[in-house]
Amino acid sequence: MQRKLFCLLLLLVCLAYHSEGTKADDGYKLWQRYEQVQDQAKLQVYRQAINELIVQGNSPTLTVAHQELQTALSGLLGQTVPSSQQVTKQNVLVAGTPASSALVKNLGLTDRLKAVGNEGYLLQTSTKNGKNYTVIAANTDIGVLYGSYHFLRLLQTQQDISNLSIASAPKIKHRVLNHWDNLDRTVERGYSGFSLWDWHRLPGYIDQRYIDYARANASVGINGTVLTNVNANALVLTEDYLKKVAALADAFRPYGIKVYLTARFSAPIEIGGLKTADPLDPQVQAWWKKKSDEIYSFVPDFGGFLVKANSEGQPGPQNYGRNHADGANMLADAVADKGGIVMWRAFVYSEDEPDDRAKQAYNEFKPLDGTFRDNVLVQVKNGAIDFQPREPFHPLFGAMPKTPLMMEFQLTQEYLGQGTTLAYLSPMYKETLEADTYAKGKGSTVAKVVDGSLDNHKLTGIAGVANIGNDRNWTGHQFAQSNWYTFGRLAWDHALSSEQVADEWIKMTFTNDNKFVAPVKDMMMNSHEAIVNYMTPLGLHHIMGWSHHYGPGPWIKDKHRADWTSVYYHKADEKGIGFDRTKSGSNAVAQYFPPVAKQFGNVKKVPEKYLLWFHHVPWDHKVNSGRTLWNELAYRYSGGVDDVRQMQKTWDNQEGMIDQERFQHVKQLLTVQEQEAKWWRDACLLYFQTFSKRPIPQDLEKPAHTLEYYMSLDPKFVPGI
Ligand code: BDP
């Protein structure tokens, strides 16, 4: 009897453990989990509102929309929704275009549809002949797919769907992931395993991952993917590889995703047998034209090329005395007749140039404004150095009105703690997008430059350097999924708030329970600032470990390039710290429009977060808090560590709210992050103290080791190099 009771108890415990919310979960499903709606009242309402699904039309894209709706609805509603071609029930969910669906055509949406363009959609509640319709309507099949994902998001986040009248269209045309993936499957600056692209088994083997990758991208409106590293390998342009590229393009096409490749500028020599890659040489031009035609024969909707040229040792037009426009235009001509584009990167700085690295891209590119072909976008990183934890916006934004400028954000956390750190990056992206360039007076935000509205460009784009690899959960850190999600959502609509995007992502990824959502959202919202504080507070930058960029390395000096050392950037000495970019220094501030230049150039007016980016500031300088600069630095570094501890507490309180697997994954990584935060704090304060010669304030935690100890740390085989 006792044994029976024990077994029963054991069974109950097991059942409880496996009940909703505690199931083991490896994170593979991202934000597309489609678990049954938790709120019972809402569930009933949804079940009533959708008793039939009608998707008319059978293109590949409509077919995947149909499948996605069916799978998702049966998961979310916990019951199969019958799917038919004719209305037989009372409350019908309809998806289609006026061309694919007579139902959609006759629902009187024609005028409103005009406003949403090629990729947009309407979500509309309406009644006709006594029936109730929830309509997902678009002008194109891909619009229907995007609308379907939006509709599902409403259910996943338990929104009211009883009276829908939503019109949505993307603000930016090309919303593209940049994979820095090599053909040997290593990923430059990748912290989530190896490349998704299994080149060896392509084209014969289509991994289910490719499909799930495409689904995830389409669900947030990403419509392009650059498959290969900007540090390019010409091999990908050879026939064998183009067949593999074609197989990926075929897999992605139904999801509205175009494939792009990086073009190695010296490819005509390396794989074409030519003696030169001079962009003005007719043979070189002919080679690229032929190569492009060949690519289009494999991939008829090939998107075009992304190019890193004359940057960090990569070949480019300057090797032949030509400029960036000469190079970009040659490639642009090669793809123009097929509708291709060239994304030419402005991430350039010269090995031989003694001038401030922050100024060099502007100096090289601004004079070229107006000389690029119509199908060229110049792709500019968010800041002028290189994806630092925080950078002021790049001065090129607003400075090239005749050229469409494409934003390049980094999703992979090269300088932001890499694979171990919880960093929600929406606030950082928004900080740049909302920055005012004053190019055409107040309100000339970076976002308006990028979405084309400031200078009336139709060709617009935004790129995110992907954080995706073959780790089971795609992004290494569970929370890094949020940056993939955010990138897509902001690329579609940069006016969304970081809070809203986080809210959606948490609900879709974990749970709608506000006891979890509210604190976790707060934690995410503060996460970027915490990292900035324990790594590079007050405008410090580029002081991380040599080459792998992991951990602190403010002492890095005497390397073959000054601008790859830390001392070049922080310039600490016994007087103070920071890079003087005002008139008395490099005068980089002058690259901004006057109102911005004035603000950044004035030590009393510069936002404190950029203080040491623009100024060399005495250790005893009083900052906003009333503290001296030295003390403020110490408090910031310590505050960053405290914030991570707070994140740990917040997370610990969530135990039981979600599955153990993801809970433990995040918990362990937060423990690692706390150790790394202390490492940053102690190493940086001890090092800067050798210049400031001032004590660390009494009430702050003391460094655990000596400076020599921190300087001796030399992590090996850091991923991603
Ligand atoms: C830097 C990376 C380097 C990239 C380069 C780039 O350290 O690996 O190749 O940017 O964007 O952030 O080209």
In a domain, 447, yes or no: yes
Kindly report the CA angle at 278 between 275 and 283, in degrees rounded to 5? Answer: 65
What pLDDT sits at residue 551?
97
Q: Are residues 50 and 187 in the same domain?
A: no
Q: Which atom of ligand 1 is nearest to the CA of 180?
A: 9
Predicted confidence band at 17 (pLDDT cuts at 50, 70, 90)? very low
Asked whether 234 and 266 are in contact (CB, 8 A), the reply is yes
Which of 133, 167, 201 corresponds to the end of one domain?
167
Q: Which of 179, 180, 379 to mutate to test the pocket of ligand 1 (most atoms within 8 A of CB)?
A: 180
Q: Are residues 79 and 135 in the same domain?
A: yes
What pLDDT sits at residue 7?
52
Which of 302-311, 470-479, 559-568 has the lowest average pLDDT?
559-568
What pLDDT sits at residue 18?
45
- The residue with tokens 């890499």 is 418
Protein residue whose Cα sits closest to atom 13 of ligand 1: 230
In a domain, 14, yes or no: no
Protein residue whose Cα sits closest to atom 1 of ligand 1: 386
Number of residues assigned to the chain: 721
Which of 103, 138, 167 corresponds to the end of one domain?
167
Protein residue whose Cα sits closest to atom 11 of ligand 1: 347
Distance of CA 307 to the CA centre of its chain: 19
What pLDDT sits at residue 351?
80
In a domain, 92, yes or no: yes
Helix (H), strand (E), coil (C) string for 593-609: CHHHHHHHHCCCCCCHH
Q: In this predicted model, what pLDDT tens digit does every residue of 344-366 receive, in sequence order?
A: 999 999 888 789 999 999 999 99
Q: Which of 181, 262, 347 to mutate to test the pocket of ligand 1 (most atoms within 8 A of CB)?
A: 347
What pLDDT sits at residue 368?
98
Residues of the domain holding 423: 176-500
Separation of alpha carbons 187 and 468, rounded Å: 9
- Domain CATH code at residue 146: 3.30.379.10
In a domain, 522, yes or no: no
Q: Are residues 103 and 233 in the same domain?
A: no
Distance of CA 577 to the CA centre of its chain: 32
Q: What is the mean pLDDT of residues 709-719?
A: 96
What pLDDT sits at residue 565?
95
Asked whether 324 and 362 are in contact (CB, 8 A), the reply is no
Q: Are residues 50 and 132 in the same domain?
A: yes
Q: Are residues 212 and 361 in the same domain?
A: yes
Q: Are residues 158 and 181 in the same domain?
A: no
Q: 606 CB contacts (<8 Å, ≥6 apart)?
A: 599, 600, 614, 615
Q: Which atom of ligand 1 is nearest to the CA of 314?
A: 13
In a domain, 528, yes or no: no
Q: Are residues 311 and 342 in the same domain?
A: yes
pLDDT surpasses 80 at 193? yes
What pLDDT sits at residue 24?
80
Q: Are residues 435 and 557 in the same domain?
A: no
Q: Which atom of ligand 1 is nearest to the CA of 311?
A: 13
Whether 281 is catalytic is: no
Q: Are residues 476 and 565 in the same domain?
A: no
| 336 CA from centroid of ligand 1 (Å) | 28
- Domain CATH code at residue 487: 3.20.20.80
Q: In this predicted model, what pLDDT tens digit does every residue of 602-649 receive, in sequence order?
A: 999 999 999 999 999 999 999 999 999 999 999 999 999 999 999 999
Tell me the C-alpha to C-alpha distance, in Å, between residue 345 and each of 211, 404, 521, 596: 29, 12, 34, 24
Q: Are residues 235 and 335 in the same domain?
A: yes
Q: Are residues 159 and 193 in the same domain?
A: no
Separation of alpha carbons 6 and 608, rounded Å: 63
Q: In this predicted model, what pLDDT tens digit does every residue of 83-112 receive, in sequence order?
A: 999 999 999 999 999 999 999 999 999 999
Q: Which of 231, 314, 380, 550 to mutate to test the pocket of ligand 1 (most atoms within 8 A of CB)?
A: 231
Whether 312 is catalytic is: yes
**What DSSP element (H or E) covers 304?**
strand 304-307
**What DSSP element (H or E) covers 140?**
none
First and final C-alpha spacing in the chain: 63
What pLDDT sits at residue 338?
98
Q: In this predicted model, what pLDDT tens digit does every residue of 66-84 receive, in sequence order?
A: 999 999 999 999 999 999 9
- Domain CATH code at residue 675: 3.90.1330.10
Asked whether 345 and 394 are in contact (CB, 8 A), the reply is no
Protein residue whose Cα sits closest to atom 10 of ligand 1: 386
Which of 102, 133, 167 corresponds to the end of one domain?
167
In a domain, 188, yes or no: yes
Q: Are residues 188 and 152 in the same domain?
A: no
pLDDT surpasses 80 at 23? no
Cα R_g (the chain), whole angstroms: 27
The whole-model pTM stands at 0.96
Indicate which residue of 250, 312, 608, 642 is catalytic: 312
Q: In this predicted model, what pLDDT tens digit does every residue of 210-248 receive, in sequence order?
A: 999 999 999 999 999 999 999 999 999 999 999 999 999
Which residues contact ligand 1 via a Cβ below 6 A? 188-189, 230-231, 308, 312, 347, 386-387, 414
> How many CA atoms within 13 Å lie on the side-chain side of 608?
15
In a domain, 22, yes or no: no
pLDDT surpasses 60 at 372? yes
What pLDDT sits at residue 19?
45
| Overall domain count for the chain | 3
Indicate which residue of 119, 356, 391, 414 is catalytic: 414
**What DSSP element (H or E) covers 305?**
strand 304-307
| 387 CA from centroid of ligand 1 (Å) | 9
In a domain, 329, yes or no: yes
